[in-house]
Structure 1
Amino acid sequence: MLVRILLFCLLGLVVAGGNGDSKASGGGHNRHGNGKGNGKGKKLPLKPNMVLILADDQDAGTHTREIMPRLFDRLVDKGVNYENFFTPVSLCCPSRVSLLRTQAAHNHNITNVELPHGGWVKFNNAGYVKHTMPDFLQAAGYNTYYVGKYMNQQTEANCVELPVSGFNASDMLVDPYTYDYWRPGFSVNNGPVEIHEDTYSNDIVAQKGLAHLDSALASSRPFFVGIAPIGPHSYMNSSLRKSSARLYMDTPLWPIRHNHMFNDAQLPRTESFNPDEPMGVSWVKTLPKLNSSNVAYLDEFYRGRLRSLQSIDEMVGQIFDKLEAAGALDNTYVIYTSDNGFALGTHRRQPGKTLAFEEDIKVPLAIRGPGMPKGFTDTVSSYGMVDLSRTFLDLAGAKPDYEDDGTKINLHLGNERSTGARSYMKHRHSLTEFWVRGIEEGRFVESSYRLNNTYRTLRVHDTVAGKPVTYSYGVWCTGERELYDLTTDPYQVRNLLAPLNALGKFAAFDADAVLGTEMQRVLHRLDALTLVLKTCVGKSCVEPYSALFPRGQVHTLREAMRGKYDGFFANLPKVHFDHCMLGYQSRLEQPEWDDAWAYMK
């Protein structure tokens, strides 16, 4: 009898355990998107699959049907395109850490691509390994996979001793091979580097990504697959040693099959392209006008970026083909975005991405998934990388083991109003932060690095007095400020605070006659939002007005513009830096928000 009981129990364990999928099966998922019964004739709720395609340095200006037709045919036209999506830091590594940690940069404090202020080694030293979004997805029953660029300073020398956590299987591009389009090197499942000679990087990332997708589809568990090609990032030859003065970053490369494409393409000659008069603040206002040879080089650089995107566009089509063939598309969210943007020639600039202009910080975001509308453009909301990360967690029913700073993105499913304690319905702001050297790329720079590049920039849009408004407000370590009204100045060529910058750090707040009373009122409110957001944690990052108005009188800029609040906003302490210094130095960024300053009437 005892033997029979033991055999019965063992059989039960085998049936429940199956292929190691019992945890996920309890959530009712299968790869074809059909609910499983719970023994009472009811379907259990599904956990959706997620495929993230993360490009490298793709600005929103290259997110077009003409440049990426498959992306638009298969994803944008069948899902939602988000017009306002911004990077938290206009640099690869910090932005990717915000995705992994669901945290603003001032909270995770990984602010550069290398030590002492950033990179994979600092990420490890901070204790973040095993405490990332993919780790939390695994704890929620997901199989997780990743291929491509993960984080800067993950190198040939440390990829084994500093392993990545949170993935069932992974193929990580590692330095110095990360940006070598024709000589990529991968750490496979935290093993030693495997170099692929004369193999196009984007193509092998696609090949490996599709193989991981096959593995994911073969299991009954829900899955997350991250695919991160390097296109259209600048090319870096893995055989060249990095100089302290030059990074040797040049035109992106492409496979022969795309040689014929975009041969006549030129950079858009917008109002900000190589202007006759200098613009911007700090080192930007010192840039010389570009000569004809430099402009021709920038055009060729642009063509290289467009060609390098073609293999990614092809991969998008292959991903959808595989999901459709497996019958998994109806229960899979496919997300396309980039870690940060990129600029060429605007404001007289060499290739680069470390400023807070729209071309640096505004990046594509398109999502297709179950229940989402087709061909819809979200022009109202404003989101960032932490919100995308929070969306993955919420879809999976996963929880981080610390307080995160994001809100679930509105997927427009028709039944969404809020995400628990944090509402995204009035989420119309994004903050971009930067604390390290500015970086210039390409053949025409003598030194790749620029000092005095520390800033905080707020991007906010709303409807005020019945009219749509969009503002970009920046505070720099030099004491300078920028304010652009993007509804009338989309290329950011007219800094409304330029006449005041020479007068001192706080002159902008005492010069009604120059700025005008109405814009002065706007400035006070934008500065107050920045004051809250620059040290926000959790809810205050999503709903900064909840800190300013804890009794709930104000939720939007439109409501904040009521005249009865003029005195309150005018009397708040103003955001400033004491001086320029590399790295996040909170002591240089006083004051920090104090709840005692809140409006309590």
Structure 2
Amino acid sequence: MSARTAPARTLLATALTMLLALTVAACSGSAQAGELSDTATTATATATGSATEATQDTSRPNIVFVLTDDLSMNLLPYLPTVQRMQDEGTAFAQNFTTDSLCCPSRASIFTGRYPHSTGIYRNSGPQGGFKTFMKKGLDSDTFGTDLQAAGYKTAMMGKLLNQYEPDGQTPAGWDEWALAGMAYKQYDYTLNQNGTTVKYGSDPEDYMTDVIGARGRDFVARKAAANEPFMLEVATFTPHKPYPVAPRHQGLFKNLKAPRTAAYDTMPSPAPAWMAKHQLTRAEIKRMDRDFRKRVQGVQAVDDLVRGLWEQIRASGIEDNTYLVFSSDNGYHMGEYALLSGKMTAYDTDVHVPLVVVGPDVAKHRTVNALTSNIDLRATFGEIAGQPTPEISDGQSLAALWSTTKKSSPVTDRDLVLIEHRGPDLIVGGDPDYEGFRSANPPGYDALRSRDFLYIEYLHGETEYYDLRTDPDELHNIAGTLSKKRLAGLSAKLHEVATCTGHVQCAKAQQL
């Protein structure tokens, strides 16, 4: 049973009904009665249109950022609201993560810096995790602190960084928060809600994706009614393993199987040494098909969350002054390259991630083919808020690429993005992303991804090279056919990008 009381649930359901009039009943369990009672009047005023009549400060548009966990590109067809965002806004077709692992990727998103700049390469230990992030003082220099300095009210809901504990320290940059630790099961977790720890149970309304979605909508309603510019990040644990599904979505997509792409159950040739020769067994295929269905079922709650936030933005009368941004920290493979479910490779299955935006001045039906990266989000959010790109940021603002008014962007000159990874991961206990070698647990590498090729250089010296013009599935490793001069040039360019610091130097390094 839930640790919260029945009256709290009743009050919450009533407040959310007034707030959105949504039909998804399971989205009604989000917070303590004491917190929501202060916002019930605001919710009612919003629903009746008083927030719509408020004069919005258009010089500082609002930002709502939804970040998912392990959401691969092959899940996008099952997210109708995100598809509608693509139709009504702009999608970035060549968007990549700096490291296909939760903590390094999120550190890059927060700071706008590559892993070699943050020093965050892992989920725990001296090279990663929340403890190292805080020890390095990285929390004091993020898009959260940028927007606070610009006069924004900021909020962070859901997953922060690996190793975060709800009863511990909360990083700088946030005026409000509802943060969880190990909440991958979506039930029986604890949220740190603005400094108070609240336990959630195992009832349907405790499903965490719904809880943080409801809290996010409440934040949007209150800030819109108060006419305060705001930045909200809602970071789901969905669809991370063990792939828990909201009760209302169980049983959907019964006959769905993991996509049988050209790379499915097929190893690269020649394969890197770490990738032991193997063909998938029937039992492994059956298990991954089941898990893929669970991932698709699970992201239905993500779609509900995005739709609910979008509807709240409209109900609050701030649609013409609010950006809604959707992305993922990394991708995921399930059977590709004959690997069991996992991530951490430099292949597109793991590093190619969605980025979709709707909002004021965002072009409709636009697909951007410029190479972009999660290091660009900090500078992008800063430009929206009227802030210059911090010198320390390795990324560039993407705003001009979606805008109907801005004419150019330095990102259009980027020829390369960098992918960095340090492995193998040998921490068996406590790391939710630990994978056996059959799932993909590669040794450390740096990689360059261009529009035309993928070049991987392992720290022990082995290389891979894929010509994406003729081999988009990244199956034919032709590194052995390249001239010594070509390999030396690739290695030199990789070293240049892998040691760049700051957006000026990195922009130059990322040109061929």
- TM-score bracket for the superposition, by shorter chain length: 0.7 to 0.9
**1:84-483 → structure 2 map (5 Å cutoff):** 84-156=94-166, 159-160=167-168, 162-175=169-182, 178-192=183-197, 194-198=199-203, 199-235=206-242, 252-275=243-266, 280-284=271-275, 286-379=276-369, 381-398=370-387, 403-409=392-398, 410-418=400-408, 423-438=410-425, 453-461=443-451, 470-483=452-465
Counterpart of 2:79? Answer: 68
Letter in 2 for 1:527: S
C-alpha change, 1:471 and 1:401, in structure 2 (3 Å) is: closer
Counterpart of 1:17? Answer: none
C-alpha change, 1:527 and 1:262, in structure 2 (3 Å) is: same
Letter in 1 for 2:378: S
In structure 2, how many angstroms separate the alpha carbons of the residues matched to 1:446 and 1:108?
Answer: 26
Tell me how far 1:474 sits from its aligned partner: 0.7
Counterpart of 2:477? Answer: 495
Q: Deviations over 1:45-65 (max 9, x none)?
A: 61111000001001122222x
Q: Which has the higher contact order (CA 8 A, sep 6+)?
A: 2
Q: Deviations over 1:281-339 (max 9, x none)?
A: 1311x142111111111111111111110001111111111111111011111100000
In structure 1, how many angstroms separate the alpha carbons of the residues matched to 2:91 and 2:252?
Answer: 25
In structure 2, how many angstroms separate the alpha carbons of the residues matched to 1:524 and 1:338?
Answer: 34
Tell me how far 1:253 sits from its aligned partner: 1.4
C-alpha change, 1:278 and 1:212, in structure 2 (3 Å) is: same
C-alpha change, 1:287 and 1:185, in structure 2 (3 Å) is: farther
Counterpart of 2:501? Answer: 537
Counterpart of 2:72? Answer: 59
Letter in 2 for 1:431: L
Q: Deviations over 1:387-408 (max 9, x none)?
A: 1121001111235775211111
Letter in 2 for 1:233: H
Are 2:210 and 2:301, in contact at CA under 8 Å, matched by a contact in 1? Answer: yes
Unaligned runs of 5+ in 1: 1-29, 37-43, 236-251, 462-469, 501-507, 511-519, 546-555, 558-601
Letter in 2 for 1:309: V
* 2:274 match: secondary structure: helix
Q: Deviations over 1:462-490 (max 9, x none)?
A: xxxxxxxx111110123111111112111
Tell me how far 1:164 sits from its aligned partner: 2.2
In structure 2, how many angstroms separate the alpha carbons of the residues matched to 1:402 and 1:226?
Answer: 23
In structure 2, how many angstroms separate the alpha carbons of the residues matched to 1:271 and 1:279?
Answer: 16
* 1:425 match: secondary structure: helix
In structure 1, how many angstroms separate the alpha carbons of the residues matched to 2:389 and 2:407?
Answer: 22
Tell me how far 1:417 sits from its aligned partner: 3.9
Counterpart of 1:78? Answer: 88
Q: Deviations over 1:529-580 (max 9, x none)?
A: 31211000121222326xxxxxxxxxx54xxxxxxxxxxxxxxxxxxxxxxx
Deviates more, 1:180-189 or 1:396-405: 396-405
Letter in 2 for 1:358: D
Are 1:282 and 1:478, in contact at CA under 8 Å, matched by a contact in 2? Answer: no
- State the identity %: 27
Deviates more, 1:408-417 or 1:428-437: 408-417
Are 1:33 and 1:330, in contact at CA under 8 Å, matched by a contact in 2? Answer: no
In structure 1, how many angstroms separate the alpha carbons of the residues matched to 2:389 and 2:146?
Answer: 6
C-alpha change, 1:310 and 1:344, in structure 2 (3 Å) is: same
Tell me how far 1:272 sits from its aligned partner: 1.2
* 1:543 match: secondary structure: helix
C-alpha change, 1:451 and 1:52, in structure 2 (3 Å) is: closer
C-alpha change, 1:131 and 1:201, in structure 2 (3 Å) is: same
* 1:192 match: secondary structure: strand
C-alpha change, 1:220 and 1:344, in structure 2 (3 Å) is: same
Which of 1 and 2 has greater Rg? 1
Are 2:165 and 2:181, in contact at CA under 8 Å, matched by a contact in 1? Answer: yes
TM-score (norm 1): 0.71
In structure 1, how many angstroms separate the alpha carbons of the residues matched to 2:283 and 2:349?
Answer: 23
Are 1:183 and 1:201, in contact at CA under 8 Å, matched by a contact in 2? Answer: no
In structure 2, how many angstroms separate the alpha carbons of the residues matched to 1:494 and 1:309?
Answer: 33
Deviates more, 1:390-399 or 1:362-371: 390-399
Q: Deviations over 1:332-366 (max 9, x none)?
A: 11100000111111111111111111010000000
* 1:224 match: secondary structure: strand
Give the aligned CA root-mean-square deviation in angstroms. Answer: 2.7
**1:576-591 → structure 2 map (5 Å cutoff):** none
TM-score (norm 2): 0.83
Are 2:425 and 2:435, in contact at CA under 8 Å, matched by a contact in 1? Answer: no
* 1:424 match: secondary structure: helix
